[in-house]
Amino acid sequence: MMTRPYPFTRILIPYDGSPSAKKALEWAAHLARAGGDDVGQVALLRVIGGGYMARHIKNVDLRVTRMDQVAAWRRMRQHHLDHEILPLLEEGKRFLQEKGIVAPIETRVAEGKIGEEIIRLADEGGYDSIVMGRRGLSPVKGLLLGSVTRQVLSLAQRMTVFVVSQEAVFNPDCPISPLLLPVDGSEPSLAAVRQGATLARRWEHCQPNLTLLHVVDFVKVGASLNTGTTQLVKEGEAVLASGRQILQEAGLKGPLADKLLVGHPSRIIAEEAEEGHYALILMGARGLSSLKQLLLGSVSSDVLYRASRAIVGIVYL
């Protein structure tokens, strides 16, 4: 049996009090409590973005060039902090404490572009995980309008980002089960399996159900019609075998299954998650630049927008 260190030792939680953020806070509490003494820091972050300025800028003389030098603006900002932002963060902190989190809990406030600030502070603070809620945007709206979630996913590196929707459903006694682990043979996807194995060991008492899933892209199947699909099946089985080896080395005793399916990868993963009522999808992110993700999308971000009931964890190396 191979024992791995807990991968989520510094957890950053962007928090705005919305229903999805509260659901994310609940999941973060489970994640931190499972880590116990291995978790060294939990931080609640509120980023004041452009929306607040847009609502109040009509009250400020635009002939000035420095907003922070305007007394009226400073008073509005401080009132916003004292009566809305800080009480909200303290409420979130009390929630975590009541859930039995033993790690130090910090509250932070930042200003700027929300997604960029979340990643900047995560990098500066050495956070290995972000747990955030998401609003109900369709893939098209997310592409055209932009979203904090999309921006965070495009900028994240060397961390795991958990995205939780308001519709997320999980059992408080075993919040990672059933767990879906999509694998494609890449190192990020295998890293996700390792993290899944560690989480399963932490919740070993409830014997979580784990499923490895490899999807053969239908484009590859179409290209191989003349030569046969035997090689694709063989490659898929090898990918699943590498994932099984990781889970077996972790000494897991709970139910373990694997599936080899054909189709559009993100659609198949999301459909499997919905039909199987999975609580968590944990998968690796491929190395696309933010521009490529914006123009082409990615499997992980597409899964995120298609799967509404499952928590989606994306591992970045």
Of 58-72, 226-240, 268-282, where does the model show the most confidence? Answer: 268-282
Nearest in space to 279 (alpha carbons), one of 248, 310, 235, 316? 310
Domain ranges of the chain: 1-168, 169-317
Amino acid 229 reads T
- Model pLDDT, residue 305: 79
Does 133 have pLDDT greater than 90? Answer: yes
Q: Which residues, at least 6 apart from 38, have a Cβ–Cβ distance to it below 8 Å? A: 5, 6, 9
User: Looking at domain 169-317, does it have CATH number 3.40.50.620?
Assistant: yes
Per-residue pLDDT tens over the stretch 64-81: 445 555 666 677 777 778
d(CA 247, CA 261): 20
Q: How many CB atoms lie within 10 A of CB 117?
A: 22
- Model pLDDT, residue 50: 59
Confidence of residue 143 (pLDDT cuts 50, 70, 90): very low
- Model pLDDT, residue 37: 95
Confidence of residue 146 (pLDDT cuts 50, 70, 90): very low
Amino acid 313 reads G
Does 288 have pLDDT greater than 80? Answer: no
Percent of the residues in the chain that have a pLDDT greater than 90, as a whole number: 61
d(CA 59, CA 142): 31
Per-residue pLDDT tens over the stretch 198-237: 999 999 999 999 999 999 886 666 556 555 667 888 989 9
Instruction: Choose the CATH number for 1-168 among 2.60.40.10, 3.40.50.970, 3.40.50.2300, 3.40.50.620.
Output: 3.40.50.620
d(CA 110, CA 108): 7
HEC profile of 204-255: HHHCCCEEEEEEEEHHHHHHCCCCCCHHHHHHHHHHHHHHHHHHHHCCCCCC
pTM for this prediction: 0.88
Q: Which residues, at least 6 apart from 144, have a Cβ–Cβ distance to it below 8 Å? A: none
